[in-house]
Chain A
Amino acid sequence: MISQNIQLDEQGRLKHFLSIEGFKRQHLINILDAAEPFANVHEQAVKKVPLLRGKTIVNLFFEASTRTRTTFELAAKRLSADVLNININTSATSKGESLLDMLHNLEAMHCDMFIVRHNQSGAAHLIAKHVSPHISVINAGDGCHSHPSQAMLDMFTIRRHKKEFADLKVVIVGDILHSRVARSQIHALTTLGVSEVRVVGPKTLIPAHIETLGVHVYHDLQAALIDADVVIMLRLQKERMQGALLPSENEYYHQYGLTEKKLKLAKSDAIVMHPGPINRGVEIASSIADGPQSVILEQVTNGIAIRMAVMSQTLGRSNQEPPKSKGGNV
């Protein structure tokens, strides 16, 4: 588990954003509150605010991503930062340069933030431990471990529809075993005080001892959906599956796919979420993905606001004295 210390500076301010573990409820609430005004920036004729003007943010994606990488890039650009996208496949790491050597080179170019996605759990944490003190690191997904900005955009989306976390029953369905999103969501939901988190999936895709995180385990989707307020569907991560964990996609859809009939078991105002990309007809019926209870595209939009909030909080720190101007901005 990642210790709290590395993510916060000496004054308790957000320095890196690597995992939900180690944050208290108020930290998470601060991020959600900070994201609210950023959700309106797209209403301006100029869809930008000048907060991070002059900062350089590097997208370091060692693993494929469309949504996460582009929303991080858009978030950085809407904050007026300069963004560098490193294409790892054609970079010098493929010529044998080590990860840390590459980082030190990027540091020498005076970058301020690394957004890191890697297929190895703990990669962003390792980078955060080795970068210069002024650099912030944000984890955009590491192996099966953590995807904290995705979890926070999901919490933001839930709060916009449901207000109070404490009264909610939240169901997470599918490939929990390989899902860093599910792990981060579980930590965020329990930290925010959600009364009941249910995880449901085939035995082969539920990690052992997950109950210790404070969730209820189900293997029957229908039973898990009863009275649910929020239903989160996960993608089957076939690229991470080794060996025969599933009989077939058809069989999976039959048992764990969300259909209109099954969704009726949840509360009538339940919302349906999915971190994307969705596999229609594998984990979710098209009529639900495109239906009135789906907030899947809202999640994408909210991802920009949450990432703007995390970036501006981590880079809006300084050890300098407050400005000498007479009382600041008056």
Chain B
Amino acid sequence: MTQISETSPEIDNTINLEQLLDKMHQAINKKIHHLSKEDVIMVGIHTGGFWVAEKLYQRLELSSPLGSLNISFYRDDFTKIGLHPEVKPSQLPSGLDDKHIILIDDVLFTGRTVRAALNEIFDYGRPASVTLAVLLDRGERELPIYADIVGQEITLKAGQQIKLSGPEPLALILNKS
């Protein structure tokens, strides 16, 4: 587990993103090697998760197009924060039924985004399985959700935020709010 120093805001160079992506790629390959490529669909959560998914999608040879998921309509805080006027629509390949979904996000924290993403996916169909793969897991879950594949676990101090910027190049930005 890496302890991240208190800084505000700056690019974090202590984490090698390429290494994490390689590690995730290997773990995903291991997870899907016994499956037929046509049955695997990769879906990235808008926006950071989608950038990570794009990198992993390039490394894997999947036949189905890369999906993007915008969970704005499924958030649990809609009535508190309202709707962003520029929500990009989700783009999921048709026919999710019986497929194996690799769901990608950049940072796993409270688990609320993943809860919303799972609800949205099930409004598109009934997949055979969903595997969650995240670049960083910063712990402190508020819901019973875990990632099957984790690039790296990190611990942040109170008030610190970490965010992925991208899509080219990908960089981690540390922010002390």
Q: A49–B109 contact, CB under 8 A?
A: no
Tell me the smallest distance from the CB of A323 to a CB of chain B, in Å: 5
- Report the nearest A residue to B140, measured CB to CB: A326
Q: Is A327 close to B, CB under 8 A?
A: yes
Q: Is the CB of A329 within 8 A of B83?
A: no
Contact B123 A49, beta carbon cutoff 8 Å: yes
A40-B89 contact, Cβ under 8 Å, with A45-B123, A330-B107, A330-B110: yes
B88 CB → nearest A CB, Å: 7
The answer to whether A49 and B80 have CB atoms under 8 Å apart is no
Chain A residues, Cβ within 8 Å of B170? none
* B110 and A326 within 8 A (CB): yes
* Closest residue on chain A to residue B97 by CB atoms: A45
Contact present for B82 and A37 (CB under 8 Å): no
A326 near B109: Cβ-Cβ < 8 Å: yes
On chain A, the residues within 8 Å of B73 by CB distance are 37, 41, 49-51
Given contacts A40-B89, A51-B78, contact A329 B123 (CB under 8 A): no
Residues of A within 8 A of B94 (CB): 43
Complex CA–CA separation, A324 to B128 (angstroms):
35
Shortest CB distance A77–B (Å): 14
Query: CA–CA, A196 to B9, complex, Å?
Result: 49
With A46-B123, A50-B119 as given contacts, are A329 and B75 in contact (CB-CB < 8 Å)?
A: yes
* Interface size class, chain A: 20 to 34
CB distance from A40 to the nearest CB of B (A): 4
The answer, yes or no, to whether A36 is at the interface (CB within 8 Å) is yes
For the complex, what is the distance from the CA of A44 to the CA of B79, rounded to whole Å?
Answer: 23
- For B140, the chain A residues whose CB sits under 8 A away are 326
Residue from B83, B85, B124 having most chain A Cβ neighbours under 10 A? B85
Q: Which of A66-74, A234-242, A310-318 contacts B (4 or more CB under 8 A)?
A: A310-318
* Residue among B74, B124, B142 making CB contact with A326, cutoff 8 Å: B142
Known contacts: A37-B88, A316-B83, A329-B112. The answer to whether A49 contacts B74 by CB under 8 A is yes
One of B74, B89, B109, B116 near A36 (C-beta < 8 A): B89
Question: Across the interface, which residues of A come within 8 angstroms of B129, CB to CB?
Answer: none
Say how far A27's CB is from chain B's closest CB, in angstroms.
10
What is the bound-complex CA distance between A34 and B120, given in angstroms?
18
Question: B77 touching A325 by the CB < 8 A rule?
Answer: yes
Residue of A whose beta carbon sits closest to that of B73 = A49
Cβ contacts under 8 Å, B152 to chain A = none
Residue among B90, B94, B113 with the most chain A CB within 10 A? B90
A204: B residues at CB distance < 8 A = none
Interface membership of A90, Cβ < 8 A: no
Query: Which residues in window 32-75 of B have CB below 8 A to A?
Result: 70-75
**Given A37-B87, A44-B124, A312-B83, residue A329 in contact with residue B77 (CB < 8 A):** yes
Q: Mark A42-71, 1 if CB is under 8 A from B, else 0.
A: 011110111100000000000000000000
B88 closest partner in A (C-beta):
A37
How far, in angstroms, from A107 to B146 measured CA to CA in the complex?
43
Residues facing A in B18-44 (CB within 8 A) are none
The CA of A237 and the CA of B73, in the complex, are separated in Å by 39
- Contact for A330 among B74, B86, B113, B119, CB less than 8 A: B113
Give which listed residue, B76, B83, B142, contacts A34 with CB less than 8 A. Answer: B83
21 contacts between A and B (CB under 8 A): A34-B86, A40-B89, A41-B73, A43-B94, A44-B123, A45-B124, A46-B122, A46-B124, A316-B78, A316-B79, A316-B83, A318-B82, A320-B80, A323-B80, A323-B81, A325-B110, A326-B109, A326-B110, A329-B75, A329-B113, A330-B108
Chain B positions near chain A (C-beta within 8 angstroms) = 70-83, 85-90, 94, 96, 107-110, 112-113, 116, 119-120, 122-125, 140, 142, 161
A interface residues with partner B (beta carbon < 8 Å): 13, 30-31, 33-34, 36-37, 39-41, 43-46, 48-51, 312-313, 315-318, 320-323, 325-330
